[in-house]
Each structure stands twice: as structure tokens, then as C-alpha cells.
Amino acid sequence: MISVEGISPLETKKLSQENDHLKRLLGEKDLEITILRDLVKKKNPHLLTKLK
């Protein structure tokens, strides 16, 4: 079965799952960066301006 866009429903589901996984990874990365910046700010506030 082929959809209008030429991608089967199974491929669409797989792409959707991969997209969700990548969104979670990106969210985790952003959270890690925020945590690391907070740590730098507490330990060496003068370095924070160089990181932004």
C-alpha cells in the first residue's frame, strides 16, 4: 500500500518513531548544556560569557 506522498504507512510509522527519538535526544542535549552552563556559572562565572 502506497500513500499519496509515495511513502508506505510502515515507512511513515518508522520515520515518525525516528523523529520522536531524535527530538528526545535533542531535548536531552539541551538539558545537559543547561546543566553544564549552570555548573560553570557557579564555579567560574567569568567563563560563562565566553561560552555564549
- Count of domains forming the chain: 1
Predicted confidence at residue 49, as pLDDT, reads 67
User: DSSP string spanning 1-52?
Assistant: ---TTS--HHHHHHHHHHHHHHHHHHHHHHHHHHHHHHHHHHH-HHHHHHH-
40 is a domain residue: yes
Give the residue numbers spanning the domain of 30: 25-52
Q: pLDDT digit of tens for each residue in the chain (52 aa)?
A: 555 578 898 999 999 999 999 999 999 999 999 999 899 888 887 776 665 5
0.85 surpassed by pTM: no
20 is a domain residue: no
19 is a domain residue: no
7 is a domain residue: no
